[in-house]
Amino acid sequence: MFMKVFRIFGRNIRDAFKSVFRNFSLSLASIACIIITLIVVSIAMILSFNVNNFTDKVEKEMTIVAFLDRDVTLERIEEIKDEINIVNYIENFSFQDKMEISESMMESSTDYRMFLEKYTTRETNPLLDTFHIKVTDINKIEEVANELSKIENVNSVKYGEGMVEQLVKTFDVVKNISYGVVIALVIVTAFLISNTIKITIFSRKREIEIMRLVGASNLNIKIPFIFEGLFLGVLGSVVPILVTIIGYDALYKQFNGQVISPFIQLKVPLPFTYNISIVLLCIGVVVGMYGSWRAVRKYLKI
Amino acid sequence: MSQMSFIEIDKVKKTYKTGVTAIHDLSLNIEKGEFVFIIGPTGCGKSTLIKMLYREEKPDKGTITIGGINVCKLRNGKVYKVRRKIAVVFQDFKLLNKLTVYENVAFALEIFGLPNSEIHAKVLKSLELVGLKSKAKSYPNQLSGGEQQRVAIARAIVNEPRLLICDEPTGNLDENTSMEIMKVLESISSMGTTIIMVTHDTDIVNKLKKRTILLDSGRIVKDYKEGEYVHESI
């Protein structure tokens, strides 16, 4: 019994492979259709992921700055650290002593040096001790800022109010649109490919008719066609995968990994393009199989 | 009641969607191993009758039983079960031109998952029976019409069917070639396979002297026993 199933399976794969080549011109039509649509899908995905990558990065860079009162003591600062720790949605935070700040400011410009040199002790330093706080969820930034401002000795809290909310909203819209475009493209691709395969199978109505006549069950008839769809999908996704891997790498090198300004970074090609390739292969295979299955079903009386 | 016949057609009626009634209340029994001709003018319902036998069409009324299976009750998805016991040969051969003769015949066995050695033996035996062993590697369009029909017969019998239905198998062939085909069919019949053959060719019917059923307008006009039928040609 097992051997029998195994033999039928093996023959189905062999027949599927043969018929891809025996019906080469038709197979080519299906493969070309898969190639073109998958390249479009690939481009859309690369764009979408890069936009999302950029927005994610920007969101991650968003920091809340909390300034402390000028007269706060070092002991009190340690207590404030503990108090910040218990606030929700905080990813991490860092403390900058006002003496450190004045050091680095003096190094950065002689004008600052002239001005700051006179203040050599904590007590006289006109600057404020600061905490830099990063949040886990950008949508909670306002809430976190409010919590932080309630802590005693926290003088003021800044996070680019207004601008941040606006930016996050815009990014969300952009992300949703880009996901929507990719999903729509995948659906259109599925439809297009399955229709092309359907047309190519139409010419093989006779083959299906004869299979039925000699006593092939519906499953007997369907399986080789489904395997054929699988082969078409695999063959059709080879070119888009190569285009994606080689093309994106070339693009990345051409632009030195950034677009317009160093602020907008491209995603590093590896493993990004490999992941996209896997998705392309899956789309090709699934859509190829589905297309064949849908096409054969039409000629079977079920 | 007497023992069941191999094929029992009981009060079958078939009306097509167009309103044409092809078969009227037809009853017919065929025994195992018989060779039966079905003749009649064009449009008399011959094709409809045999289509119902291999379950391409379903009768509106009545029952058709083949070897104890009620063919009418089969769902479309289960039709293949009957098809594996019944083989059909057509006027237009229905071969796959992209497959070789050998592959065309083997096709019918591969779907059952037989081992290659067994398929090889059966296909060669079948091709030998129709006298085409030497053409196993040819493609159908490299063969003559008679040879193509013999390939179709080889494919039909390779699975050792209990019933062989022939729908005008000699319709496209000249007289000599037709007789060759008939010889092949007779030898298959002599091995115990039941054969039902639809034909226009009364010469063949006259020569073979088998049971002959004359149909007209969907009814049996006459059921001639073996040797009874003599075509009144001028």
Tell whether A183 and A222 lie within a shared domain. Answer: yes
Among residues A132, A158, A184, which one ends one of the domains? A158
Of the listed ranges A241-245, A263-267, B57-61, the least confidently predicted one is A263-267
Q: Do B115 and A11 touch (CB under 8 A)?
A: no
Residue-averaged pLDDT of chain A: 82
Number of residue pairs across A and B with CB atoms under 8 Å? 59
Q: Do B113 and A4 touch (CB under 8 A)?
A: yes
Structural domain boundaries, residue B104: 86-160
Task: Say yes or no: B96 contacts chain A, CB-CB below 8 A.
Answer: yes
CB B132 within 8 A of CB B154: yes
Task: Say yes or no: B113 contacts chain A, CB-CB below 8 A.
Answer: yes
* Domain membership flag for residue B167: no
Q: Do A7 and B76 touch (CB under 8 A)?
A: no
Q: How confident is the model at residue B1 (pLDDT cuts 50, 70, 90)?
A: very low
* Domain membership flag for residue B93: yes
Among residues A158, A180, A213, which one ends one of the domains? A158
CB nearest to A215's CB, from B76, B84, B96? B84
Q: Do B111 and A210 touch (CB under 8 A)?
A: no
Measured over the CA atoms of residue B50, residue B54, residue B58 and residue B64, the dihedral's sign is positive
The pLDDT of residue B198 is 93
The pLDDT of residue B83 is 84
Of the listed ranges A2-6, A75-79, B45-49, the least confidently predicted one is A2-6
The pLDDT of residue B134 is 92
Between residues B131 and A55, the one the model is more confident about: B131
The pLDDT of residue B163 is 92
What's the rounded Cα separation, in Å, for the pair B181 and B178? 5
Task: Say yes or no: B118 contacts chain A, CB-CB below 8 A.
Answer: no
Tell whether A142 and A30 lie within a shared domain. Answer: no
Tell whether A53 and A76 lie within a shared domain. Answer: no
The domain that holds A76 is classified in CATH as: 3.30.70.3040
The pLDDT of residue B38 is 92
Question: Which backbone phi and psi does B3 adopt, to 5 degrees?
Answer: -65, 150
**How are beta strands A130-135 and A63-68 bridged, if at all?**
antiparallel
Chain A residue numbers touching B77 (CB-CB < 8 A): 217-218, 301-302
Residue B5 has pLDDT above 70, yes or no: yes
Of the listed ranges A156-160, A258-262, B184-188, the least confidently predicted one is A258-262
Among residues A158, A183, A199, which one ends one of the domains? A158
Task: Say yes or no: B74 contacts chain A, CB-CB below 8 A.
Answer: no
Q: Which of A42-51, A65-74, A82-91, B162-171 has the highest mean pLDDT?
A: B162-171
* Domain membership flag for residue A302: no
Q: Do A210 and B79 touch (CB under 8 A)?
A: no
The pLDDT tens digits for B151-208 are 999 999 998 899 999 998 888 888 888 998 899 999 999 999 999 999 988 888 888 8
Of the listed ranges A149-158, A200-209, A277-286, the least confidently predicted one is A200-209
Structural domain boundaries, residue A232: 2-58+166-297
**Mutation target among B76, B84, B110 for the A interface, most CBs of A within 10 A:** B110
Between residues A58 and B110, the one the model is more confident about: B110
Task: Say yes or no: B117 contacts chain A, CB-CB below 8 A.
Answer: no
Tell whether A38 and A179 lie within a shared domain. Answer: yes
Q: Do A215 and B113 touch (CB under 8 A)?
A: no
Q: Closest approach of chain A CAs to the CA of B80, in angstroms? A: 5
Q: How confident is the model at residue A181 (pLDDT cuts 50, 70, 90)?
A: confident
Nearest CA in chain B to A2: B113
CB A15 within 8 A of CB A224: yes
* Domain membership flag for residue B18: no
Average pLDDT over residues A247-262: 80
Tell whether A192 and A144 lie within a shared domain. Answer: no
Residue A265 has pLDDT above 80, yes or no: no
Task: Say yes or no: B98 contacts chain A, CB-CB below 8 A.
Answer: yes
The pLDDT of residue B2 is 54
Between residues A270 and B187, the one the model is more confident about: B187
Residue A302 has pLDDT above 60, yes or no: no
Q: Closest approach of chain B CAs to the CA of A282, in angstroms? A: 29
CB A132 within 8 A of CB A65: yes
The pLDDT tens digits for A233-251 are 899 899 999 999 999 888 8
Tracing tokens 């039409």 back to the chain, one arrives at A298
* Domain membership flag for residue B196: no
Helices (H), chain B: 46-53, 79-83, 101-110, 116-129, 145-157, 175-190, 202-208
Chain A residue numbers touching B110 (CB-CB < 8 A): 8, 11
Q: How confident is the model at residue B139 (pLDDT cuts 50, 70, 90)?
A: very high
Chain B residue numbers touching A207 (CB-CB < 8 A): 96
Tell whether A112 and A68 lie within a shared domain. Answer: yes
ipTM over 0.85: no
Tell whether A174 and A34 lie within a shared domain. Answer: yes
CB nearest to A7's CB, from B77, B94, B113? B113
The pLDDT of residue A292 is 83
- 3-state DSSP helix/strand/coil % of chain B, to nearest 5: 35, 25, 40
The B residues from 131 to 170 touching A (CB cutoff 8 Å) are 155, 159
Rounded to an integer, what is the distance from CA A68 to the centroid of its chain? Answer: 39
Tell whether A72 and A129 lie within a shared domain. Answer: yes
Q: Closest approach of chain A CAs to the CA of B85, in angstroms? A: 8
Tell whether A171 and A228 lie within a shared domain. Answer: yes
Q: How confident is the model at residue A108 (pLDDT cuts 50, 70, 90)?
A: confident
Cut 0.80: pTM above it: no
Average pLDDT over residues A107-123: 81
Average pLDDT over residues A215-241: 86
The pLDDT tens digits for A10-20 are 877 887 777 77
Chain B residue numbers touching A219 (CB-CB < 8 A): none
* Domain membership flag for residue A237: yes
What's the rounded Cα separation, in Å, for the pair B99 and B137? 9
Instruction: Name the DSSP letter for residue B45.
Output: S
Question: How many domains does chain B divide into?
Answer: 1
| Three-state DSSP class for residue B49 | helix
**Mutation target among B80, B83, B103, B159 for the A interface, most CBs of A within 10 A:** B80
Question: How many domains does chain A divide into?
Answer: 2
Chain B residue numbers touching A301 (CB-CB < 8 A): 76-77, 79
The pLDDT of residue B227 is 77
